[in-house]
């Protein structure tokens, strides 16, 4: 049982090595650059607006309220990290969805020598761009629906002691579903069928998704987690899920 979870962790680590292979780098650089620029712009804008608010509420020349600056400024940075963590997956996946399908196809070709049935080149992805984006929104709706019961656990006495651990398991599952959907979707495996296959290898899925979740929580590193997860999930899909 533990071996299955370790196997899932191994696939995520394996994804790191796959990113530097020929024919794969392009699909990593473009979405990573877009996301870095987007979030850098958001953080810079947010910081400038926040500092205006701090200067209004606690001007530096005021000896009475100036001490508040030492509290408010760290709060901004902590809040920013939390916001980036919870919103990164949403925006990164919407922006990177077309690239992720191509990345999964490139990784599969490297591993097997052949391309998947669909979304294997730019022309195919552009033709199916709207369905790809719709599929991302559908997945997000699924994530929201399964999140609600876990949020309720936090307000139930006694049960709320276990809620944080159950919450982490739920996030790990979501990460596994999210990233294995790209290689499996390239073979036209439905979202429901994907979840069924992952449930048959639940511990492996938790190991993989838990690794993604942990890496996603590390500032700066999280910008490169998405392509790593897609590459690792493709290897996992090719070797463990595609033939079922």
- Residue-wise DSSP of 98-156: HHHHHHHHHHHHHHHSS--SSS-SHHHHHHTHHHHHHHHHHHHHHHHHHHHHHHHHTTS
pLDDT of residue 62: 56
Contact predicate 3/187, CB 8 Å:
no
Mean of all residue pLDDT scores within the chain = 79
pLDDT of residue 85: 55
pLDDT of residue 223: 75
Closest CA to 182 of 95, 126, 105: 105
pLDDT of residue 10: 94
pLDDT of residue 156: 80
pLDDT of residue 115: 81
pLDDT tens per residue across all 244 residues of the chain: 677 889 999 999 999 999 888 888 888 887 777 777 777 776 777 677 767 766 666 565 555 556 666 666 666 666 655 565 556 666 666 777 778 888 998 999 889 888 887 766 667 666 666 777 777 778 878 888 888 887 787 778 777 788 888 888 888 999 999 999 999 988 888 888 999 999 999 999 999 999 998 888 777 777 788 889 999 999 999 998 876 5
Domain boundaries, the chain: 2-25+95-241
pLDDT of residue 60: 59
Q: pTM of whole model > 0.75?
A: yes
For the chain, the straight-line distance linking the first and the last C-alpha, in angstroms and rounded, comes to 20
Q: Report the half-sphere exposure of 193 (CA within 13 A, side-chain side).
A: 11
pLDDT of residue 9: 93
Contact predicate 35/96, CB 8 Å:
yes
pLDDT of residue 142: 85
pLDDT of residue 220: 74
Rounded to whole angstroms, the Cα distance separating 22 from 182 reads: 20
């Amino acid at each position: 049982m533990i071996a299955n979870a370790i196997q899932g962790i191994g696939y995520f680590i394996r994804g790191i090595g796959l990113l530097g292979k020929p024919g794969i780098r392009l699909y990593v650089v473009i979405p990573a650059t877009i996301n870095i620029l987007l979030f850098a712009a958001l953080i810079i804008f947010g910081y400038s607006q926040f500092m205006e608010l701090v200067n209004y509420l606690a001007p530096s020349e005021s000896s009475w309220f100036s001490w508040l600056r030492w509290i408010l400024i760290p709060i901004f940075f902590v809040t920013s990290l939390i916001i980036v963590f919870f919103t990164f997956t949403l925006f990164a996946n919407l922006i990177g969805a077309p690239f992720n399908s191509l990345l999964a196809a490139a990784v599969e070709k490297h591993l097997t020598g052949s391309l998947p049935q669909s979304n294997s080149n730019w022309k195919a992805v552009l033709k199916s761009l709207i369905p790809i984006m719709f599929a991302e929104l559908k997945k997000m709706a699924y994530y929201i629906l399964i999140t609600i019961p876990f949020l309720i656990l936090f307000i139930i006495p006694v049960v709320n002691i276990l809620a944080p651990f159950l919450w982490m398991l739920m996030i790990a599952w979501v990460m596994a579903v999210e990233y294995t959907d790209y290689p499996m979707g390239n073979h036209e495996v439905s979202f429901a069928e994907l979840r069924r296959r992952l449930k048959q290898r639940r511990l492996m899925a938790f190991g993989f998704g838990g690794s993604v979740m942990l890496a996603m929580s590390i500032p700066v590193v999280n910008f490169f987690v998405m392509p790593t997860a897609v590459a690792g999930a493709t290897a996992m899909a090719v070797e463990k899920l595609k033939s079922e």
